[in-house]
DNA sequence: ACTCAGGTATTAC
DNA sequence: GTAATACCTGAG
């Protein structure tokens, strides 16, 4: 397959660090020149900021232009979203200033499901390591610029992997969850392709919750970060609980803050953009500690 | 040795 | 329904 290029000259709300470090993805890595290289679907792409625009370059299965527009969510008006959210209050305005270049990627649903099951009670370096080993062992190899990259394995490619083999990748207690979820997806106990056709986010969430290893937080991450692209969700992890307590609730112990009260405040304040609001707040708080 | 990290599943009121 | 507890692993 030959290399393709796409130079995006006009853009806004686009910053590589903000996009790749805001916690939504695990397979993009920074290069020595400050560009990032990542694998998604069967594509290996390098993204580089230049003075004349953003250069996307790499191995792309289909035409690179629509592929990039779709994956980087380039048709959505983030400037409008940010201006709406900035009006909510000073906190939101501050967090948006910090993460002004965030875009929520349209990541493959299956990959997002597995990745966030792996993320449970885990840390980012280890999550990334597991995903790379999983891809190297069961995905397909793609060579680009003399280096080897691996596609994220499909459910079909994980069909015959045993619980023990999953554990050898360093998955820990998540081994059985990957095993069971792979089976459930393959036998269509949960028909994940059909989820895109369901309008009501709550119904989609209930479907995702049937999967092993998918609880409320992971389900909301999948809804927000995959091609399902629901913004009416508010994934609550330790950072979000912390920032919401500090800004709006002010309890002595953040562990005492209930999920319910966080969700109510989030919905009251941010409405149908609460998913985006969560991402700005999460990134802001986690980066500043 | 011990704690912690993008939670979930299981068990017991 | 809600609360308490165990859980792989590896880095600090």
Are the CB atoms for A224 and A23 separated by under 8 Å? no
CATH code that applies to domain A2-75? 3.30.310.260
For A209-248, the pLDDT digits (tens) are 999 999 999 999 999 999 999 999 999 998 999 999 999 9
Q: Which nucleotide is nearest to A21 (CA to C1')?
A: B6
Element (H, E) at A70: helix A64-71
Nearest partner of A178 among A133, A142, A140, A245, judged by Cα: A133
For A270-287, the pLDDT digits (tens) are 999 999 999 999 999 999
Residue A253 pLDDT: 83
Nucleotide C9's nearest residue (CA vs C1') is A172
CA atoms of A94 and A121, how far apart (whole Å): 29
Would you tell me which residues have their CB within 7 A of strand C? A 121-123, 125-126, 167, 170-174
**What are the structure tokens assigned to A197, written together?**
């056709």
Q: How far is CA A2 from CA A5, A84, A136, A142, in A?
A: 10, 42, 22, 11
Domain segments of chain A as ranges: 2-75, 109-225, 238-288
The CATH-assigned architecture of domain A109-225 is Orthogonal Bundle (1.10)
What pTM was computed for the model? 0.98
DSSP three-state, residue A214 = coil
Q: Which nucleotide is nearest to A115 (CA to C1')?
A: B6
A217 is catalytic: yes
Tell how many helices (H) and how many strands (E) occur in chain A. Answer: 13, 7
Question: pLDDT band at A256, cuts 50/70/90?
Answer: confident
Rounded distance in angstroms from the CA atom of residue A183 to the C1' atom of nucleotide C4: 31
Mean pLDDT along residues A124-150 = 97
Mean pLDDT along residues A19-36 = 97
**What fold is seen in the domain A238-288?**
Endonuclease Iii, domain 2 (1.10.1670)
Question: pLDDT band at A254, cuts 50/70/90?
Answer: confident
Nearest partner of A235 among A207, A257, A263, A256, judged by Cα: A263
Are the CB atoms for A212 and A184 separated by under 8 Å? yes
Is the pLDDT confidence value at A174 over 90? yes
CA atoms of A175 and A181, how far apart (whole Å): 10
**Catalytic residue (choose from A217, A229, A251, A260):** A217
Nucleotides of chain B touched by protein CB (<7 A): 4-9
The total of other beta-carbon atoms located within 10 Å of residue A81's CB is 19
Element (H, E) at A140: none
For A54-68, the pLDDT digits (tens) are 999 999 999 999 999
Token match 């948006």: residue? A96
Q: If you ran DSSP here, which 8-state letter would residue A103 be given?
A: -
Tell if A113 CB is < 7 Å from nucleic strand B.
no
Nearest partner of A114 among A204, A183, A168, judged by Cα: A183
């Amino acid at each position: 397959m030959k290399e393709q290029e796409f130079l995006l000259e006009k853009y806004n709300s686009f910053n590589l660090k903000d996009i790749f470090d805001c916690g939504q993805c695990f397979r993009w890595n920074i290069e020595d020149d400050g560009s990032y290289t990542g694998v998604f679907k069967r594509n290996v792409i390098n993204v580089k900021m230049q003075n004349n625009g953003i250069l996307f370059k790499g191995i792309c299965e289909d035409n690179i232009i629509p592929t990039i527009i779709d994956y980087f969510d380039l048709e959505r008006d983030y400037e409008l979203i940010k201006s709406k959210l900035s009006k909510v209050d000073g906190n939101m305005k501050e967090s948006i200033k910090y993460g002004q270049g965030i875009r929520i990627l349209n990541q493959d649903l299956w990959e997002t499901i597995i990745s966030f099951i792996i993320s449970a009670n885990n840390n980012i370096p280890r999550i990334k390591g597991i995903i790379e080993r999983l891809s190297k062992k069961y995905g397909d190899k793609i060579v680009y610029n003399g280096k080897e990259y691996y596609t994220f394995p499909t459910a079909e490619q994980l069909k015959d992997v045993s619980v023990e083999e999953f554990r050898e990748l360093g998955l820990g207690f998540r081994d059985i969850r990957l095993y069971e979820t792979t089976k459930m997806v393959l036998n269509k106990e949960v028909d994940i392709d059909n989820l895109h056709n369901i309008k009501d986010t709550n119904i989609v969430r209930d479907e995702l919750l049937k999967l092993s290893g998918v609880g409320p937080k992971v389900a909301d991450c999948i809804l927000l970060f995959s091609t399902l692209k629901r913004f009416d969700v508010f994934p609550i992890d330790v950072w979000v609980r912390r920032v919401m307590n500090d800004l709006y609730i002010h309890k002595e112990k953040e562990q005492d803050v209930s999920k319910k009260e966080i969700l109510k405040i989030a919905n009251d304040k941010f409405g149908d953009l609460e998913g985006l609001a969560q991402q700005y707040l999460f990134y802001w708080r986690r980066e500043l500690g």
